[in-house]
A and B are shown apart, each in its own frame.
Chain A
Amino acid sequence: MTSQEILNVVKLLLEYLVPTLKVFGFTLLFSVPLGMVVALLKMCKFKPISYLTNIYILIMRGTPLMLQVIVAFYAVPMLKNGEGTPQFIVNLLNNIDIKDENYMFNAVLVAFVLNYAAYFAEIFRGGIESIPKGQYEAAAALSMTRTQTFFKIILPQVVKRVVPASANEVITLVKDTSLANVVAYAEITLKAKQQMQLYSSLVPLFIAGAFYFVLATVLTIVFSYVEKKLDYYK
């Protein structure tokens, strides 16, 4: 490849960095709060809820994200036309326009959010359960309500404890966005693959790799800064 061609590929991939970051950003935005809710549901004392939540987590963590993306993408059209789909589901699905320009992104996002929420939930649950019982008792002895105890005493300590494990997930997420190419969502990996075929060269793939590498490195630096910031107490 000539240097002009390489420059063109870099420019093209830079353009498709936007859809990559869109999947990354929106997945984080929704999966972190959802993960917290799922963690609390799993710790729910009412057993059926905890049990169902656990099944959800098992499925999300036990099957490949790529498969989940494919299912999310094809589920709507398949179920709409499938025989034996209950009428109320068909009615519900008829509200979804698969020709909409955002349909592909939304389907990808649903799969990513549901998958990552399961991972975050397990991290958050571990964090919440690692807070000593004495913290709850001290708050109770000071007449704090359960809500006050959770938001003022427990959650801030959980945040500090889950940052390292969450950093891992977030860095993995940057690279996992490439899985969206399986349903032809136009992001860096898909474009790099096309350019590889166009030029019969591996260079576009290496450029894509460099993009992910830079993103992951930036995140690593950000998270180590956050960890330091939170290190004002033991």
Chain B
Amino acid sequence: MAMLEVKNLRKCFGDLEVLKDISFNVEKGEVVAIIGPSGSGKSTLLRCINQLEKASDGKISVCGMDMLEDNPKGSGVVYADARLLRDIRLKIGLVFQNFNLFPHFSVLRNITEAPMIVLKKSKEEAEKTAIELLKKMGLEAKADSYPCELSGGQQQRVSIARALALSPEILFFDEPTSALDPELTGEILKVIRKLADDGMTMVIVTHEMAFARDVADKVIFMENGVIVEEGAPEQLFGNDATERTKQFLQRFSQG
């Protein structure tokens, strides 16, 4: 069973069609990288799956639960009821480009807050998990710091820990390194690679082509709201790729 199924997804902002007929699947343990030029709809796709944007058409299911379907009586979509949407959301974690940590909470509380108020975990239990996650991120010494006292890379690692604290089945990354300088980018990529080794299912929107090629099991190249090409990294980054993919990657490597 696929962990994530997206079928014929469409998203319009007014007259502007940002996503046109997007379909793809993510299997358990798979790491999928989504690449493509700015404005190609990559982030919007992630935001639709994470319920931060409402889809205009199509079907999305997560772990076998249908999040939205085409309206059987005409146009548009019907979303599942609020309870199911919440269950679905709990299966999904999202890491933002700008971290979006809660500045008024300590690092520890950033990680424990959702497990405590959403999953109703006890403080001790939530803190135990949080400390383990911080150790995994190499940040156990920063538990009592505030986000403003951390570097960008450290903040992003905290936000990954925060997402993992709810034990999601799939973790989504929306350009996790775009707000970081090259040195800090490395430490985030290392963390993501480690998660991949642990068997975490992940969907990563990224501009780090070398990383996508290295870590991803599947690469999706998007442009103008459609999937131009989808396949193993060897295929997309190899000689058999479509002309358009080659062109994009070539221009990218030139900077």
- The interface of chain A, by Cβ under 8 A from chain B, is 132, 134-135, 137-138, 140-144, 148, 152-153, 156-157, 160, 232-234
Contact = CB atoms under 8 A, between A and B. Distances in A.
9 contacts: A132-B100, A135-B100, A138-B100, A140-B51, A141-B163, A142-B166, A143-B114, A233-B146, A234-B103
A142 B118 contact: yes
Contacts, number: 58
A156 B105 CA distance: 10
A134 B118 contact: no
Contact of A233 (B52, B100, B104, B159): B104
Interface in B83-129: 86, 89-90, 92-94, 96, 98, 100-104, 113-114, 117-118
Contacts of A232: 146
B113 A141 contact: no
B147 A140 contact: no
Given A137-B52, A148-B117, A233-B147, A142 B162 contact: yes
Which residue among A143, A148, A152 has the maximum number of chain B CB atoms within 10 Å of its CB? A143
A141 B93 contact: yes
Interface of B: 50-52, 86, 89-90, 92-94, 96, 98, 100-104, 113-114, 117-118, 146-148, 159, 162-163, 166
A144 B52 CA distance: 13
Contacts of B117: 144, 148, 152
Contacts of A134: 96, 98, 100
A234 B102 CA distance: 11
A140 B52 contact: yes
Interface residue SS majority, chain A: helix
Contacts of B90: 143
A137 B98 CA distance: 11
B166 A143 contact: yes
Nearest to A160: B104
A135 B104 CA distance: 11
Given A134-B96, A138-B102, A152-B117, A143 B148 contact: no
A160 B104 CA distance: 9
Given A141-B94, A144-B118, A152-B113, A135 B166 contact: no
A198 B142 CA distance: 68
Nearest to A155: B104
A141 B50 contact: yes
B147 to A, nearest CB: 7
A138 B101 contact: yes
Nearest to B98: A134
B118 A143 contact: yes
A66 to B, nearest CB: 40
A19 to B, nearest CB: 39
A234 B155 CA distance: 14
Nearest to B103: A233
Specify which of B92, B96, B117, B146 lies most central, judged by the most chain A CB atoms within 10 Å of its CB.
B117
Contacts of A137: 52, 96, 100
Given A137-B96, A233-B147, A144 B104 contact: no
Contacts of B162: 142
Contacts of B159: 138
Contacts of B96: 134, 137-138, 141
Q: Which of B52, B90, B104, B117 lies at the interface centre, i.e. has the most chain A CB atoms within 10 A of its CB?
A: B104
Nearest to B101: A138
